[in-house]
Structure 1
Amino acid sequence: MKTHHQILIIGGGTAGIMTAAQLLKKDKKLDVAIIEPADTHYYQPAWTLVGAGTYNYKKTAKPMSSVMPKGVTWIKDYAMGFNPKSNTVSTKSSGDIDYDYLVVAPGLTYDHSLVPGLEKAIDKGAVCSNYTNPNHTWNVIKNFKGGTALFTQPTTPIKCGGAPQKIMYLAESYFRKSGVKNKTNVVFATNGGVIFGIKQIAKTLMKVIDRKDINIRFGHQLKKIDAEKQIAWYAIGDNESEYNHKDIQVSKDGDLIGIHYDMLHLAPPSVAPKFIQESALVNDAKWLDVDQYTMQHNKYPNIFGLGDVAALPTAKTGAAIRKQVPIVVDNITLLMKHNKIGNKSYSGYSSCPLVTDYGKMVLAEFDYQNNFTPDPKLKQMLIKDSSKEHWRLWILKKYMLPYLYWNKMLKGIDV
């Protein structure tokens, strides 16, 4: 097997596939290889809808072989480590692979051990997560008979910061339909001090919370889960506050507060994959250390990183990757030709499609400064203000974005 490639990409997720596709679109003679062990590629943004029973899980998966861009060498293996000084990546079974340029995009992984009790509890019984098994989430919501429905998130960065509340809004709608809403308290416990970091979006979401009669508990840091007693335990931060109090069962254990739940949905704590954390490529927080504007590694100029693994002060979403890929592609192309990168700059753009009901959505688009930055193309969809709920945004989320993802984005076409 060939052990040297001009451009080596780690990861066959959104970032890796899009980068390879766009590089080969610019120059199909390039020698590009992707290291990716998985057989299946998932469109994860639709998992929110799967968890609410309004999207088929099977439609979120395609064989990895079908999304590999034409002309790419697929190394079906695990990346295990780096030697950036000698430009090599070690793999589990294919030996060392050399590169001229390296793109690191393996995504993130979940570390259940950061919340004691989570490993035993997750995806079983009343505990669910759209991040790991959205089919189980739907079973839990569908079979919920009332009581406290607790939605929560960890203190680590997570994929799409809005996801833990989207499923809550949809679940509340379903509880109304199934007739259990009048004997249910919906509670959102979050480490943050606001519902969303962008004022226009937060204003809309607080109206949704009023309409759905949801209790929010800010400044709650998830510490452990007791699956047998069905209690989630929290440390309370300085930013503790509450909105729309509900009289739910709460226990105390020293400094910790325990919320009793009858169903629990959570995002698992997220970290960079182990082989990344243990490498010379990370910052102190153990995320890939890249320049937030150029995506170039801060120490090794022929290494670039993007996607969920990158240490960027913005939300980890596919929409962010869509804007990061052209910067990486431009910089690598110019490095190869002129030995210096270009002046294109990533603004920190990310977007969170916040589904607020079946048939309604708000679209939060923002940059590093948390400025609200709506895409002008939304005007073509007759959407004047994407910070307000709109049924056309739901159509975008459920039908248009998956289509664009499989047929345009993964094929290197700019959308």
Structure 2
Amino acid sequence: MKSHHQVLIIGGGTAGIMVAAQLLTQKRAKDVAIIEPADTHYYQPAWTLVGAGTYDFDKTARPMSSVIPKNATWIKDKATGFDPENNIVHTASKGDITYDYLVVAPGLAYDFSLVPGLGKAIDKGVVCSNYTNPKHTWDVIKNFKGGTALFTQPTTPIKCGGAPQKIMYLAESHFRKSGIRKKTDVIFATGGTVIFGVKKIAKTLMEVVDRKDINLRFHHKLVAVDGDKQIAWYEMGQEITAGGCVVISSNKVDDLKLDEKFQYNYKDVKVSVDGNRYGIHYDMMHTAPPSVAPKFVKDSTLVNAAGWLDVNHQTMQHNSYANIFGLGDVAALPTAKTGAAIRKQVPIVVDNLNLLINSHKMGTKSYNGYSSCPLVTDYGKMVLAEFDYDNNFTPDPKLKRMLISDSSKEHWRLWMLKKYGLPYLYWNKMMKGKDV
């Protein structure tokens, strides 16, 4: 006998729990089940602060049993595949589960094979990532004695696109406090072409970069890591026009004609060249892991050509199967993968599910791509980048209540929001299905 549920949710992360909680607290569905194998639910946005030694890792964890809504059925198992024609989800040990409506929200997965050598090097020695082990990041930053501090990221979509640079700003502050900043070069190497896609935020961040004397390297596509030799290998995402001086260190500084499309605030750190690859030698490195949809989603008929869940950008309804919705990090939505985005996606999914269950029609609510990235720029300072699908700066009017007139500028009140306000809202409002 297969088990059957009116609404089946895959994933006990931010998206899955919020959808379940809102469906049940607002009495929008009678029977909700969540497939989730993990025992622990993490509040990952605080991991930036853990990596900078200013938040307790243990406070970011709660038992999964405490966040799954009381009236929901917890299927403690892994989803392994889909049969959408027959409304079936396959699981690792509980067999097939059928549904009337399916919500796919398992988050994303890390695929280290996309950057050879990184999997072997990460979370060991001087290579760290707030995404995988923020406690190790703090150890690396604390024990750093100077040299090249490289902050970088892969070219895949990642959770919270701003996170690889937030930890850099905090690390730079720590190096200053601990007296090693003078013998340190801080480098940010990214496959992107700008520091941030929203112009107003980019302007503020470039001021932070100037204040902190950080070398930005654009068009740098991370392709391999040599953990033994401590070299991060890059290919250029665009042809170099300025005679190659842009990325190769030269002893004659006068010879350097900097092309600011590639480098800003050049630092003469050790670089090796191997064919068309440039290797930056690091004394510490922080990166985000290359990210993909979980294998069981990627290998299914539910994804688009890029391998992400193929959903309508406004309604989050699947483009081929009307009774399937997807949201959160797994969804092929052209906006940043953040908890703030999920906060705006959930009510639309819940509204549509409610209308489909009760009247077999879709609602008129539409998601505009809202996402936000709390960009911590220093201990005690933060900028809040809020934007939509078109990268318009779209500040939440609720911030005016915190007496913040312009959240694109650094502010200590925004830091307080990040460190105290948002975790409180997360555990006590978002996880409980209350509108925030």
- TM-score of Structure 1 vs Structure 2, range by shorter chain: over 0.9
Distance 1:26 1:46 in 2: 29
1:179 aligns to 2:148 (yes or no): no
Aligned equivalents of 2:70, 2:135: Cα separation in 1: 33
d(CA) in 2 for partners of 1:114, 1:374: 35
Bigger mean CA offset, 55-64 vs 26-35: 26-35
1:151 alignment counterpart: 151
- 1:306 aligned residue: 327
Residue aligning to 2:164: 164
2:172 alignment partner, SS class = helix
Amino acid at match of 1:143: N
- The answer as to whether partners of 2:429 and 2:435 remain within 8 angstroms in 1 is yes
1:116 aligns with 2:116: yes
1:224 paired residue number: 224
Q: 2:29 and 2:389 mapped to 1: Cα distance? A: 36
Asked if the contact 1:44–1:60 (Cα under 8 Å) also holds between the matched residues in 2, the reply is yes
* Equivalent position of 1:329 in the other structure: 350
Q: 2:68 matched to 1:81?
A: no
Secondary structure at the counterpart of residue 206 of structure 1: helix
Alpha-carbon distance in structure 2 between the residues aligned to 1:242 and 1:330: 47
| 2:117–2:224 contact (8 Å) kept in structure 1 | yes
Instruction: Identify which of 408, 427, 436 aligns with 1:387.
Output: 408
Equivalent runs, 1:11-410 vs 2, <5 Å:
11-27=11-27, 30-238=30-238, 241-410=262-431
TM-fit CA distance, 1:237: 1.5
CA contact (8 A) 1:28 1:71 kept: no
Letter paired with 2:422: L
Q: Which amino acid aligns with 2:127?
A: V
Letter in 1 for 2:305: D
User: How many positions carry a matched residue from both structures?
Assistant: 415
Q: CA deviation at 1:29?
A: 6.1
Q: Secondary structure at the match of 1:373?
A: coil
Structure 1 runs not aligned, ≥5 long: none
Shift of 1:148: 0.1
Q: CA deviation at 1:25?
A: 1.4
Q: What's the secondary structure of 1:331's corresponding residue?
A: helix
User: Cα offset for 1:26?
Assistant: 1.7
Secondary structure in 1 matching 2:238:
strand
- Alignment partners' CA distance in 1, 2:5 and 2:398: 38
Distance in 1 (alpha carbons) for counterparts of 2:2 and 2:411: 52
Residue type of the alignment partner of 1:185: D
Aligned to 1:238, the other structure's residue is in SS state coil
Partners of 2:223 and 2:234 within 8 A in 1: yes
State the distance in 2 between where 1:170 and 1:9 align.
Answer: 37
Where do 4+ consecutive residues of structure 1 move more than 4 Å? none
Residues 88 and 97, structure 1, Cα contact 8 Å, conserved in 2: yes
Partner AA of 2:353 in structure 1: I
Q: Distance in 2 between matches of 1:117 and 1:46?
A: 28
Q: 1:4 deviation in Å?
A: 0.3
Return the alpha-carbon distance in structure 2 between the equivalents of residues 143 and 31 of structure 1. 51
Offset at residue 87 of structure 1 (A)? 0.2
Query: C-alpha distance in 1, partners of 2:290/2:179?
Result: 33
User: What is the TM-score when the length of structure 2 is the normalising length?
Assistant: 0.94
Q: Give 1:70 shift.
A: 1.6
Question: Structure 1: how far apart are the matches of 2:122 and 2:214?
Answer: 23
How far off its partner does 1:28 sit? 7.0
Preserved CA contact (<8 Å) 2:23 2:29:
no
Per the alignment, in what secondary structure is the counterpart of residue 100 of structure 1?
Answer: strand
User: Is there any run of 5+ residues in structure 2 with no aligned partner, and where?
Assistant: 240-260
